[in-house]
Structure 1
Amino acid sequence: MMPRLVFVHGIGGLRDTGRELAEWTDALARGMRDAGHPERAARLNAEGAGGVSLAYYADLFVQPEAQGAGEVAGEGAAEQILADLLVELVAALGSEHSGSTAPRDGAWQRRERILAHASAEAETAGQAQGGMSVLRRALNVATTLMALKPWRGVAHWATPKLMVRDLAQVSRYLARGESDASGVTLDARIRRRLHEALGDEPAVVVAHSLGTVVALEALHGHPERVPLLVTLGSPLSMRTVVRPRLLPQPPSTPGTVERWLNFWDKDDIIAVRPHLERDIVPNASGVGPRSRRTDADGVWVHSAGKYLAQAAVAGPVAQALASAERRTAS
């Protein structure tokens, strides 16, 4: 049996867990074959159901009783975090645009105007008081951004409201609120899902987007070895919104992690500060994140599948699984 492999998904709405797991597994297997590990890829496809799991938590963001702003933006502190998140994202897009070597033609000038407008709206949202005010201004920012690539044409962000709903999942997690009847906060319930997926065995963990935040925090309370932690398209180093709110502080590599590889794409709008080693303290064994750039084709490069299909990502996962298998056998 192949050593355990645990996937942790990121932002987004409800999904079919079986299909999601199959898509991630298939993409990783393609990357393994391209990396020169065809036998490991074949085993992954054949034994995936037994050795691979997905820590699923998207359903925890659904609030059946919520209406209006609460359904999209959460409550209390989450609203202001959402506003600050939009400010940081727009600022990052503006910085990238100003530093671009593209010719300053009509298209460049149009993008400049759109980003300036989005920046003004985002700053206003960051100063807003009250949930509906924040939500309205966040929707204005989203509407403006969706006029730009890569936001324009993203199928799962068909409307500004869906975009805000998904981005708000980051703020709702970091707000540490939305307690259930037992007093357990939303973020704790999400981490509990990952602990359940990990079980009491060593596991290779591959986390994407918001899932990288969940994985980092959950693994601080996980006693078993993690031969390899892989983070994809991570927002962990967003210095205004995410990094100051991570637990524990200062942000550090969990003690059981034996290797950490962080992958980012130059066009990934969520990984706005991709070099995690600048902001994450190594653990007692000296293990810290090592960031590597990967470049995918297409308009929307943030998807987990595009990262997993990269040989640079899948190769180390194949090697870690093989090494863990040999270690278990001996």
Structure 2
Amino acid sequence: MARVVVVHGIAKQYLGPRSMQATLAPALVDGVLLSGSAPLSTEDVGVAFYGDWFRTPGHKGTPMPATADVDDPVERELLFRWWEAAAKDEPHRVPAPTLTGTKAPTPITVQRALDALSRSRFFAGVGDRFLVGVLKQVRRYLAEPETRAFVLKRLEAAITEDTRVLVGHSLGSVIAYEALCAHPDWPIRAFVTLGSPLGIRNIVFDRLTPAPVGGRGTRPGRECRWTNISDRHDVVALVKELDPLFGDVVDLPVDNGWQAHELARHLTATETGSAIAAGLAG
């Protein structure tokens, strides 16, 4: 049974649990090894896979998401928050947003945001339709009860009495957080979040279950050590420090090179390996 369970992030709908485990388990094992900790087997690593929920059934003539489809307030606000972060991180490459006032973004300004993001190193090579699809996956998890229920059920099925470490990447960190809050009885000793958007107010933080109280989020697990790791160039992890919002969180920076958000690079980092090893050692 898996001693470490990884919850993946967005845009994995064309993969599967075995294919993801085959890629992520060696990277995680490498991170533990490079941290100087006791060796870990790939068989000790499991993946809570839910990507298939977002795979659109094949229908003749079904259109891909387009710019005009970004019509939900959550999707648009998240898009513009990414634009602001990318412009701040790379002012020489990405033009700053010029949207002012309270008027909602139009398809034209949405396209401007997508065009601006395409100039950043972070979103290099990412097409508009793919990015629109990503926005919709985030919104669907946060807004659709049936989506949330399906995804959380997949994670619950992956946890066993042997699981000691829960790792969540990107949207997976939100999923892992909510599941851990709902199951204080789980034998989790270490919670590791990678490239997490948990701290984004209005879009993610204020939509969590359980809901924050007085501007503070629930701290999951009494005996659980929470380590939050992010690259300073990661646009998805807009809020790099979660300790002020949740309390008792160890926030650590990591250098993932030009792929700041990529999961495998997070997993091979010694910072991640040390946090996982500490959970396994108790």
TM-score, reference length from structure 1? 0.74
AA aligned to 1:175 is: A
Among candidates 142, 145, 156, match of residue 174 of structure 1: 142
- The structure-2 alpha-carbon separation of the partners of 1:91 and 1:196, relative to structure 1 and needing over 3 Å to count, comes to same
Match of 1:195 in 2: 156
Match of 1:103 in 2: none
How far, CA to CA, are the matches of 1:189 and 1:242 in structure 2? Answer: 19
Judge conservation of contact 1:232–1:263 (CA < 8 Å) in 2. yes
Q: Which has the higher helix share?
A: 1
AA aligned to 2:261 is: H
1:4 correspondence with 2:3: yes
CA deviation string 1:6-41 (max 9, x = no partner)? 11000113214222112211111222221112x423
CA deviation string 1:265-309 (max 9, x = no partner)? 1111111111011112x4xxxxx3211001122x21211100110
Gaps of 5+ in 1: 99-107, 178-184, 283-287, 324-330
CA deviation string 1:29-68 (max 9, x = no partner)? 222221112x423xx13xx1xx321111111112328854
Q: Write out aligned runs for 1:222-237 (5 A).
A: 222=183, 223-237=185-199
How far, CA to CA, are the matches of 2:102 and 2:115 in structure 1? Answer: 13
Judge conservation of contact 1:72–1:168 (CA < 8 Å) in 2. no
AA aligned to 2:141 is: Y
1:321 correspondence with 2:280: yes
Judge conservation of contact 2:190–2:279 (CA < 8 Å) in 1. yes
Q: Write out aligned runs for 1:1-330 (5 A).
A: 4-13=3-12, 14-37=14-37, 39-41=38-40, 44-45=41-42, 48=43, 51-64=44-57, 67-68=62-63, 79-97=72-90, 108=92, 111=93, 114-116=94-96, 119-120=97-98, 127-128=104-105, 138-153=110-125, 157=126, 159-177=127-145, 185-222=146-183, 223-250=185-212, 251-256=217-222, 258-280=224-246, 282=247, 288-297=248-257, 299-323=258-282
Aligned with 2:167: secondary structure? Answer: strand
Judge conservation of contact 2:181–2:221 (CA < 8 Å) in 1. yes
Moved more, 210-219 or 248-257: 248-257
Judge conservation of contact 1:5–1:204 (CA < 8 Å) in 2. yes
Question: How much has 1:201 moved relative to structure 2?
Answer: 4.9
Aligned with 1:306: secondary structure? Answer: helix
Question: How much has 1:90 moved relative to structure 2?
Answer: 1.5
Aligned with 1:206: secondary structure? Answer: strand
Gaps of 5+ in 2: none
Question: How much has 1:256 moved relative to structure 2?
Answer: 5.0
How far, CA to CA, are the matches of 1:303 and 1:203 in structure 2? Answer: 24
AA aligned to 1:169 is: Q
Judge conservation of contact 2:16–2:52 (CA < 8 Å) in 1. no
Aligned with 1:188: secondary structure? Answer: helix
Judge conservation of contact 1:81–1:175 (CA < 8 Å) in 2. no
Question: How much has 1:72 moved relative to structure 2?
Answer: 7.0
- The structure-2 alpha-carbon separation of the partners of 1:255 and 1:35, relative to structure 1 and needing over 3 Å to count, comes to closer
Percent identity for Structure 1 against Structure 2: 28
TM-score, reference length from structure 2? 0.86
